[in-house]
Structure 1
Amino acid sequence: MTDDAPELRASDADRERVAEVLRDALAEGRLDMSEFEERLDATYSARTYGELAPITRDLPAGTADAAPRVSMTKEPERGGGWAGRITGGEGSSSWAVAVMSGFQRKGRWTVPRRFNSFAFWGGGEIDLREANFADGEVVINCVAVMGGMNVIVPPGVEVVVRGLGIMGGFDHREEGVPGDPGAPRVVVTGFAFWGGVGVERKLTRAERQRQKEERRQEKLERKAAMRELHSDFREDVEGAHRRMLDGHRDMLREHRDERREQRELRREERDRRRRDDD
């Protein structure tokens, strides 16, 4: 690891990459269980790169499958669409274990071609909503013994479930939904004994916020349209009312003029009769 910008905040994916290095070191005997647990606790409590860097400083870079390293600079966002999320290469995390505990894989991480997970009296969450994919088809292998796991996929991803359950089961509700063109295919397989593996489709928080903002904007536009409609209606009603009053005043004026003419005619008739009498 470099020591560039140690004050930068670490992400969940950064912590998971360091945790993967520690797991490989434990499997190779470079760390005993107490050291592994101590460093793992420090990893998940670390908030910055400066706190993460010392945790694996004495471990070689070439553990297992060329252990991932924490990047001190954030890479630019990939282009939109699924093509930018199928990256090739290796995954940033290839396995997870929960024994009377739990694990999470979420945020920005790269799903390998095959991800293996195991839960015994514990649980795990494998969230693929913001993940990249090492291949167009990835396999999530889940083994749950008296435990449970949940696989979360984003909309547009095709899901195939092939797991076996004994006094347990795999969730098949998301099967049969066609994927978007170019989207990856996620195969959920494994074994569940007195346990379960759930599969659900969810939007990311950013997408939910975007949809919420769109609905709010549509609501504001509908309100503005209704206000304009009401204003036009009110103007039409007021115009009709004014025209009705004007017509009524004209009718009254005509009626007064007509009565005046009749009075004048009657007066002229009386004057003519008097002259005739005289």
Structure 2
Amino acid sequence: MTDNAPELRASDADRERVVEVLRDAVAEGRLDMEEFQERLEATYKARTYGELAPITRDLPAPGGVPQAPVNLVKEPPTDGSWTGRVVGGGDSSPSWAVAIMSGFQRKGRWTVPRRLNCVAFWGGGELDLREADFSSGEVEINCVAIMGGIQITVPPGVEIASKGIGIMGGFDHRESGVPAGPGAPRVVITGFAFWGGVDIERKRTRAALKQEKLDRREERRQLKEERRGHRMLEGHHGATGDLLGESRKRREDHPRE
């Protein structure tokens, strides 16, 4: 990560990646529970990459927060373009997101791996793909929600293939079948929900909504200017008509002899 940019602010997704590394380390016997709790507390208190880096520096790959790529500081396109967002190459993002009587969250600028496994057991998870990059033109998100819920938010243009099932629960299929936009990825969502739910919602990015608001404001400004110009022109025509009427009346009252 980011010895090159330790001052950059860490996101919630960055902290969750560190938490996943710590959970793996506990499962493998590299950390005991006391160390895990200490590092977990330090992770959620961390505000920058420089504070996150030491927490997993002594753990093996895929330990640590990934190097901060350039696109972390770029805003996603607001025009619906997918240029540069299907990055290809190997998967560098964690392939698991687990919430056991807790929660997980992936949002902002992050990279969706080719296959992401999500588990929510008595907990909840949120996957926001609106500003995400994609490691492949087709990615698979496998969701298992048991007495819990997983919320997936996708931007317009992404093709969704929802193939999961609900058992005494719900697995959303409403967004399936919408054709992909030019260059957009395809997201296959599989898994099952038991006494829980997997919801899929399509929303525009905050940047796109902000740009639309600015465009509407500019349209209203231009409309006001046009109306003002019409009123001024009408007033000019009215004044000209009054002058012509007065001139005609004077000629009628004082005809030339």
Verify same fold: TM over 0.5. Answer: yes
Task: Map Cα deviations across residues 221-266 of structure 1 (whole Å, 9 max, x no partner).
Answer: 1111111111111111222222222222222222xx6xxx6xxxxx
20-29 or 111-120: which moved more? 20-29
Which protein shows a greater Rg?
1
Structure 1: gaps of 5 or more residues: 262-278
The 1-side partners of 2:23 and 2:243 are apart by 84
The 2-side partners of 1:68 and 1:105 are apart by 17
* Map of 2:213 onto structure 1: 212
Q: In the superposition, relative to structure 1, how do residues 131 and 223 fare at CA in structure 2: closer, same or farther (>3 Å)? A: same
Structure 2: gaps of 5 or more residues: none
Tell me the percent identity: 61
* Map of 2:131 onto structure 1: 130
AA at the equivalent of 1:251 = E
Match of 1:84, SS?
Answer: coil
* Map of 1:274 onto structure 2: none
Q: Is 1:189 aligned to 2:206, yes or no?
A: no
1:17 deviation in Å?
A: 3.2
Q: In the superposition, relative to structure 1, how do residues 49 and 171 fare at CA in structure 2: closer, same or farther (>3 Å)? A: same
The 2-side partners of 1:58 and 1:91 are apart by 19
Match of 1:29, SS?
Answer: coil
What's the TM-score, normalizing by structure 2?
0.89
What's the TM-score, normalizing by structure 1?
0.82
Match of 1:14, SS?
Answer: helix
The 2-side partners of 1:78 and 1:234 are apart by 47
Is the CA contact 2:56–2:64 (under 8 Å) kept in the aligned structure 1? no
Q: Which has the higher contact order (CA 8 A, sep 6+)?
A: 2
Is the CA contact 2:101–2:121 (under 8 Å) kept in the aligned structure 1? yes
Name the Cα RMSD after superposition.
2.3
Match of 2:228, SS?
Answer: helix
Is the CA contact 1:91–1:111 (under 8 Å) kept in the aligned structure 2? no
Aligned residues: 252
Task: Map Cα deviations across residues 151-210 of structure 1 (whole Å, 9 max, x no partner).
Answer: 011111011111110111112221222110221001111111111111011111111111
* Map of 2:46 onto structure 1: 46
Q: Is 1:31 aligned to 2:27, yes or no?
A: no
Structure 1 segment 88-167 matched on structure 2, within 5 A: 88=88, 89-167=90-168
The 1-side partners of 2:201 and 2:113 are apart by 20
The 2-side partners of 1:253 and 1:175 are apart by 84
1:77 deviation in Å?
A: 4.4
Is the CA contact 1:68–1:92 (under 8 Å) kept in the aligned structure 2? no
